[in-house]
Amino acid sequence: MGVLLDDGTAIVGDAIKYVNDAVRKKMTFAYYNLDEANKSIAKILSLARLIIPGHDVPFYVVNGEVKPASQTQNKLSIYLKGDIDISILKAL
């Protein structure tokens, strides 16, 4: 499960665990169907411009190519308020 924000940012959790999975367009491991997991990666890469994976640094998708947003891990704080109101207060 993931969240696609209006600005094209996708918070994808374990749908894409690592930047390398996105580069290869293949999941290294899935508890369920590996083919479906790989289809999820392709779909996310086609929809998002900035992707925040489950266990790695955020990365951009530029003309179909994966580009890390930085060489160091970022800290992201997300606070949910109400039913679906999402506010990002601070990204370091």
Gap between the Cα atoms of 47 and 67, Å rounded: 15
Residues paired with residue 78 on neighbouring β-strands, in sequence order: 88
What is the chain's pLDDT, residue by residue, as a tens digit (92 residues)?
789 999 999 999 999 999 999 999 999 888 889 999 999 999 999 999 999 999 988 999 998 899 888 765 555 566 665 665 555 554 44
Given a contact cutoff of 8 angstroms between Cβ atoms, the answer to whether 1 and 15 are in contact is: yes
Gap between the Cα atoms of 18 and 21, Å rounded: 5
Gap between the Cα atoms of 70 and 78, Å rounded: 19
Gap between the Cα atoms of 59 and 70, Å rounded: 8
Domain-by-domain residue ranges, the chain? 3-91
